[in-house]
Amino acid sequence: MKSFRILIVILIIIGVLVSILLLRRPLTPSEIIEDEGILLGAGTGRNVLHLVEPPLCQRGDGPREIAKRASKKFIVESKNIELLRYQYQLVKVWGSLKKEKRERPVICIKAPCPPIYEDQLVMNVEKIEISNKVLSYCQEVYLRWMGKEYSIEATPIIENQPILFSIKIAETPTGLVSVKSEPRTIGTEEIEKVRAGQKFDVVDESNGWYKIKCGNYCEGWVKSQDTVKE
């Protein structure tokens, strides 16, 4: 009976050791994974890049607010591909993931500042291509801002334009009205949805469409029939 218990304990220990070895073993080429995201600098050198989840947007957001919701997936690196060519773009990547001790960027107030290391996921990229997925209007704004080398002040997309008049969004069956990037229904991107009762300034009009300012970083076109002049 005692020997049986000892055997059970030995088998459990062996099982735990095997599990640890499997978890820590390097990924093999057969374990290539595919992922998608925005390629951005990691803040620790020009050759260190992060794959970032395209951030979700809310109406009226500026780039700083959008950036807070851009969660990092993992570090990307490659010996054969010039990844910097794809920076600030939405890409698809293929490669193997591993966990490594990497230096974490810190703000140093008083020297000496010893480096801080932590476990981070790193992908060795074997293939990369530009994604054909269309980003939303505010995600494009965010990328243009990030492309200015983390400028302290982001310039609003909308320049000062004379206000023609003001409108209020009329009641619709859904209570929502689409804001389009161009004054037409087909072949144009929906950049926002506005609610019935909301009021906006009109800066241009064209063939039954009004161009409205829907935030510091948002402007687009709504059908005049879905609005009421104030």
- Which CATH fold would you assign to the domain 165-229? SH3 type barrels. (2.30.30)
3-state SS, one letter per residue, for 98-115: EEEEEEECCCCCCCCCCC
pLDDT for residue 157: 47
Q: Has domain 31-146 been given CATH number 2.40.50?
A: yes
Pairing of strands 72-77, 116-130: parallel
CA atoms lying within 13 Å on the CB side of residue 51: 25
**Residue 8: its pLDDT value, please?**
59
Give the Cα-Cα-Cα angle 89, 101, 35 (nearest 5 degrees): 30
Give CA–CA dist 43/50, Å, rounded: 9
Q: How far is CA 5 from CA 9, 13, 16, 18, 34, in A?
A: 6, 12, 17, 20, 45
- Do the domains 31-146 and 165-229 sit in the same CATH topology, yes or no? no
Q: Where are the domains of the chain?
A: 31-146, 165-229
Q: How far apart are CA 206 and CA 200, in angstroms?
A: 16
Q: Which positions ≥6 away from 88 have C-beta within 8 Å? A: 38, 39, 40, 143, 146, 147
Q: Look at residue 94 in the predicted model and tell me its pLDDT.
A: 93
Structure tokens at 137: 């209007």
**Could you list the pLDDT tens digit for every one of the 230 residues in the chain?**
556 566 656 766 776 565 555 455 554 444 888 999 988 876 544 456 888 888 877 666 666 777 777 788 888 988 888 888 888 888 999 998 888 887 766 555 555 667 777 788 888 898 999 888 877 777 777 777 776 533 333 344 445 578 889 999 999 888 888 888 888 888 777 777 788 888 888 989 989 999 987 665 567 889 999 999 88
Contacts of 13 (CB under 8 A, 6+ apart): none
CB-CB neighbours of 146 under 10 Å: 21
What pLDDT score was predicted for residue 9? 60
Question: CB–CB of 38/143 below 8 Å?
Answer: yes
CA–CA distances in Å: residue 61 to residues 58, 141, 156, 217: 6, 10, 11, 7
Pairwise CA distance, residues 92 & 36, whole Å: 4
Nearest to 226 by CA among 180, 176, 170: 170
* H-only helix segments in the chain: 2-24, 63-67, 137-146
